[in-house]
Amino acid sequence: MPENHRVTVIAPSQITQGEAGQYPFELFARRYLAQGDSWFSIGSLPPGLTSNVLAELELSKSTVVVNCARPGKVLQHMTDTASESAFVRLLSGKLAMKWDAILLSGGGNDLIDAAGVAPSAPAAQRLIATAAERGTPTSGDAYISAAGWATFESHLGAVFNALIDRRDSGINRHVPLAFHTYAHLMPRPAPAGLGFGPWLAPALTAFAVPATDWLAVSNALIERLGTLLQQLVSARQAADPACALHLVDTRTAALVLAGQTDTGSSGDFLNEIHPTRGGYKKVAAVWRPTLDQLP
């Protein structure tokens, strides 16, 4: 049986310890840089109600993760030098460090944001089709705006490749970089607290999607995002076989869905889009094989 080492997660500010000098990275077999959304940071308010993927990771080698993630992060902001200066500096700036791997949690908030665009917006600017556009849907996919999805694909592809280009512009060129898909979830009236969320349930209500089809639409969006991420990874691998990209399919974590009318913790979900601590443990277990096999 492989050893279990709980990952140590630190903030970028902890790298320099003042008079004590630099953080003792030499005490760990591996050091990773992480960036992303609430799945790597905070999924509820107050934060202590749940956990995140990194906090639940156990690997075969002792590992420290410098985590730049914040809740609500969208992929396009990860390389924004104004708001993400710590991540950019550590990844490819003049003061960049050489990492053993880079971990990214992104794309999910982009999807949620796009799904929440109002019905009054042009079709190319929203993910959900209006009642007039969709006719009589026979599947979850039939509720998705073709023009809107084309825009989303173009957007995500551009920022995905910009991020890889950023990695390859400095000393971390071709360092392993791992993304992930997102787990299936039940749209429901379950906020994260202090006015945050729910997200999908109000959007589907605004587009007059029957409640009986909410899960089908959610499943279609999650599957499309997973397929798109795989296509982006595969295209980059074809163009550059040494690109060292990895996609962790967290859909295989088989999280227990919440009840559609449940307003609080239900199944493996604390709120509409964030798992419970037990749910994150399941997701972290899916991450482990990919990270343990990295050179």
Residue-averaged pLDDT of the chain: 93
**CA 270 to mean position of chain CA atoms:** 17
- C-alpha closest to that of 69 among 93, 53, 57, 45: 53
Is the pLDDT at 94 greater than 90? The verdict is no
Who wins on pLDDT, 73 or 170?
A: 170
Q: What is the pTM of this model?
A: 0.94
C-alpha closest to that of 228 among 291, 295, 273, 161 = 161
Q: What pLDDT score was predicted for residue 160?
A: 95
pLDDT (mean) for 113-126? 97
Distances (CA, A) of 34 to 25, 128, 194, 212: 15, 31, 26, 38
Q: CA 257, 259, 264: angle at the middle one, nearest 5?
A: 100
- The answer to whether residue 223 scores a pLDDT higher than 80 is yes
- Specify the fold of 5-107+156-189+227-292: Rossmann fold (3.40.50)
Lowest mean pLDDT among 71-85, 130-144, 207-221: 71-85
List, for residues 238-258, the tens digit of each pLDDT value.
999 999 999 999 999 999 999
**pLDDT of amino acid 247:** 98
Does residue 90 have a pLDDT over 80? yes
Percent with pLDDT over 90 in the chain: 83
Which two structure tokens, joined as six digits, stand for 42? Answer: 């905070």
Res 54: pLDDT: 97
Query: Tell me: the pLDDT tens digits for 162-217?
Result: 999 999 999 999 999 999 999 999 999 999 988 889 999 999 999 999 999 999 99
Token digits of residue 105? 């949690």
